[in-house]
Structure 1
């Protein structure tokens, strides 16, 4: 059962929680929030003894929105006390949402990964998640391969979400390790795509991005090695969700 959390009750319900928490920022008008709601409810039941699901109405709690730099809904965080250990933005598929609950379950209230004293970015904890095929514990990028600070990850995911929401026209999986995104918007969109993909490649070096433009059409080709195809699944899901919301 999910608990509704507000600016006034956050410290009590999350900061002092005896269980790790998955916290969702949602809006009543948000179609993507409604889309993932049944999955979150199922996961909350499945993880009921290990993880507490809490929900924050983004329209009614500006302090928490500002504190967590939330720019779109749904945005979800796995929390150990008041410490973020993982996050994701958008209507991600079930494996990624499950990974968020798994990453929360693998923490203690001090924010460390179970079986390890090095904190949430230590490879030993994330490798155990990877063995279960759910290593996407920071949006769609695996924690052990991403050097972007945890606090900056929601903002980066939101940047992709804004680009997709404003400009995306087609999502095509050319091969298991190759995703093609067709955008509309000309030179400005090309510049945005080049800047964003370049910064993403800096923190997740396994990505290979190619950006090209013909007239008002911008193509973004994203390639990953075979062992990172699940990451491409997550990126494709975020793109497809944004595209569906435009229809």
Structure 2
């Protein structure tokens, strides 16, 4: 069963918990939050002895929203010892949501590096996580496949979210392993997309991005190998969340 935390109660309830947590930033008006709520409730019941589900109303707790660099709802973090070990944005599929709970649960047995405790936007090396066993998911990508520091991952997700929110027209699975994103825009949107996808390829080398442009539209084709197809579901979920917010 989930419980609510606020700006005032976070440190006491989550900062140094005896039990790891999955923390969801939600909004009462958010359709995607309602969409994943039954899955989160089921996972909370399944992991009840190992992981606590906590919720933060993003509209009522600006300090936590700023601290965790939350730009859209739902955004979820796996926390252990008061520190982030994984995160994801949007109405993600069940396997990715399950991976968050597994990440929080397994971290207690593998240990984390002690750090400053100032949250996921901290640039300190001590905020990095060491992990064995089950792979972490941060955003869309299994942790063993991504070289981007944990502290930088929320900012990267926010960049994609900003691009999707401002320009996305359509999300479409063309075939297994291939996702097509249609964006409205010209040279500026194309340049942003090329820069962002180039940096994403640097830290997650399995991605294949192909970008093309007509007069007022930019196409981003995202290809992944068969064993990474769940990543496309994660990208699609974040893109659809951004698209729904514009409607």
Task: State TM-score, norm by structure 1.
Answer: 0.87
Q: Which moved more, 1:48-57 or 1:66-75?
A: 66-75
Q: Which residues of 2 match residues 44-193 of structure 1 at below 5 A?
A: 44-108=44-108, 111-112=111-112, 120-122=129-131, 124-125=132-133, 129=134, 135=135, 137-193=137-193
CA distance in 2, matches of 1:90, 1:28: 15
User: Which sections of structure 2, spanning at least 5 residues, go unmatched?
Assistant: 114-127
* SS in structure 2 at match of 1:56: strand
CA distance in 1, matches of 2:41, 2:164: 27
CA distance in 2, matches of 1:224, 1:49: 36
Q: Which moved more, 1:139-148 or 1:151-160?
A: 151-160
CA distance in 1, matches of 2:41, 2:234: 20
CA distance in 1, matches of 2:68, 2:242: 22
Give 1:201 deviation, angstroms.
0.9
- 1:19 paired with 2:12, answer no
Give 1:29 deviation, angstroms.
2.1
Give 1:112 deviation, angstroms.
3.2
CA distance in 1, matches of 2:25, 2:151: 16
User: Which sections of structure 1, spanning at least 5 residues, go unmatched?
Assistant: 114-118, 130-134
CA distance in 1, matches of 2:73, 2:24: 8
Cα RMSD after superposing both structures:
2.0
CA contact (8 A) 1:80 1:109 kept: no
CA distance in 1, matches of 2:130, 2:221: 29
Give 1:170 deviation, angstroms.
2.0
